[in-house]
Amino acid sequence: MGQSLKETQYLLLEDPEGSDVRARRLRLFLVFLILINVMGVILETMEEVSVDYRYVFRLLELISVFIFSIEYAGRIFVGGPDRVRGVVGRVRYALSPLMIIDLIAILPFYLPFFLPDDLIFLRALRLMRLMRVLKLGRYSDAIQVFFDVVRLKREQLAVAGFCVGILLVVASSLMYHFEHLAQPSVFASIPHAMWWAIITLTTVGYGDVYPVTEMGRFLASVIALIGIGMFALPAGILSAGFVEYGERKKRAMGVCPHCGGRIHSCDDSD
């Protein structure tokens, strides 16, 4: 018996076994289309290119939106990898992160049809087409691994981000206190001082804003040294996450992460 339309769409879009040749070709085509779209958005910002090839860019946009819209509707129709049923299940699936990214990738094309043409912010919606590059995460195993590691270490990364935020506020406040009188136009407020703090904590150091008081310079030195360690912390967390992810993957495959043999042939307590 031949496959039903819904079953065929499910295999093409989700490919649960990862062995369907048609699904693999479709993924490669969509990746190619996404990359072409991102390149098109970038080239459109070059006036000399945009004027000469505006009809090509417009045609590319129409074709891309048509294909991405069919893909989006198809995923809603089949219910995703879990094959959810009913209106509530499909709404929940539509609100999943990857489906929201898919929607954002096509939304800028449709919004001008429902909103007044004189809204200035509609011009910025075209740049949202760059969000299509995030769709690559659906088709790339490497990007999926990265997202899995981030989810695995989300609590540690959140703590690290919270600590960086506290350090940013403290550094900005102290620098404002010591430098405001000496440089009232540069360190006019704590938000103004945050620019200096961000550039210093990230060790970029543009040199456009710098302290001139003795206490301000001492504080800047301490903050710069602390910033080296604070911004290296997330990298260390992600590195540990990749190691832990690899070990979990090996265990799931029945391979011991310590000796490389089958789990039944090695005692993990050794």
- List, in order of start, the domains of the chain with CATH numbers: 5-139 (1.20.120.350), 154-265 (1.10.287.70)
pTM attached to this predicted model: 0.61
Question: Assign residue 209 a region: left if phi > 0, alpha if psi is -120 to 50, beta otherwise?
Answer: beta
Bigger pLDDT: 220 or 257? 220
Summarised one tens digit per residue, pLDDT across range 193-241 is 999 999 888 888 888 888 999 999 999 999 888 888 887 888 889 899 9
Q: Which string of b and e fits 178-194 if b means at least 16 CB within 10 Å?
A: bbbeebeebbeebebbb
Q: Which of 227, 176, 220 lies closest to 201, judged by CA? A: 227
- Per-residue confidence at 130, pLDDT binned at 50, 70, 90? low
How far is residue 158 from each of residues 143, 145, 169, 230, 238, measured CA to CA in Å? 20, 19, 17, 13, 12
- What are the backbone dihedrals phi and psi of residue 262, each rounded to the nearest 5 degrees, phi first? -65, 145
Asked whether residue 85 carries a pLDDT value surpassing 80, the answer given is yes
Rounded CA separation 36/68 (Å): 13
**DSSP helix/strand/coil, 184:** coil
**DSSP helix/strand/coil, 4:** coil
Instruction: Please count the other Cβ atoms lying within 10 Å of the Cβ belonging to residue 177.
Output: 15
Say what the pLDDT of residue 269 is.
Answer: 46
Rounded CA separation 101/93 (Å): 12
Summarised one tens digit per residue, pLDDT across range 47-81 is 888 888 889 988 998 998 899 999 999 989 888 87
Instruction: Please count the other Cβ atoms lying within 10 Å of the Cβ belonging to residue 74.
Output: 16
CA angle 83, 85, 91 (to 5 degrees): 95
* Residue 256 near residue 262, CB atoms below 8 Å: yes
Q: Which of 134, 111, 138, 136 lies closest to 122, judged by CA? A: 111
How far is residue 86 from each of residues 78, 80, 89, 90, 92, measured CA to CA in Å? 11, 12, 5, 6, 10
Beta bridge partners of 255: 262
